[in-house]
Amino acid sequence: MSCMDNRPKTIFCDIDGTLVKHVPPNIAQSPDFEMELLDGTIDKLLEWDKLGYNIILTTGRKEGLRDLTEKQLQKAGIFYDQLIMGIGGGVRYLINDNKPEGDNTAFCICIERNKGIQDVNI
């Protein structure tokens, strides 16, 4: 997406249904559950990392599930800069001020559940 600011971009990215296959919370939160990577997840994360982007994972999973979630992510090979938990499962908004020049400083991409992020170009 076009934006004049050439500094590394920051990506807030959902986990369940976006990076890994979405399953009901009671299954995803069981101790032995292993995340199933969606097509292109690791390649896209590597691409973003190579570009210096900040990868911030966001999830409605409760903060109390942090240890479990971090282990699941590590086992799946998903790496990131920050993990923000407990943001709820409702609709999400990112609010940011535009530069005086008028360039948009925030964008939103909604993808089909379990389709993967391989076609997302940022």
- In the complex with Mg ion, the residue whose CB is nearer, 52 or 88, is 88
**What is the closest distance, in whole angstroms, from the C-beta atom of residue 66 to Mg ion in the complex?**
17
Q: How far is CA 111 from CA 8, 52, 91, in A?
A: 23, 23, 13
Where does this chain bind Mg ion (CB under 5 A)?
A: 14, 16-17
CB of 90 or CB of 102, closer to Mg ion: 90
DSSP helix/strand/coil, 42: helix
What is d(CA 85, CA 66) in angstroms, rounded to the nearest whole number? 7
The residue among 95 and 110 lying less far from Mg ion, judged by its C-beta, is 110
Least CB distance to Mg ion at residue 62 (A): 14
Q: How far is the CB of 7 from Mg ion (least distance, A)?
A: 28
User: What's the min distance (Å) between Cβ of 82 and Mg ion?
Assistant: 17
Contact 66, 82 (CB under 8 A): no
Alpha carbon distance 29, 59 (integer Å): 13
> Ramachandran region of residue 44, left (φ > 0), alpha (ψ -120 to 50) or beta?
alpha
Cβ proximity to Mg ion: between 3 and 115 the closer is: 115
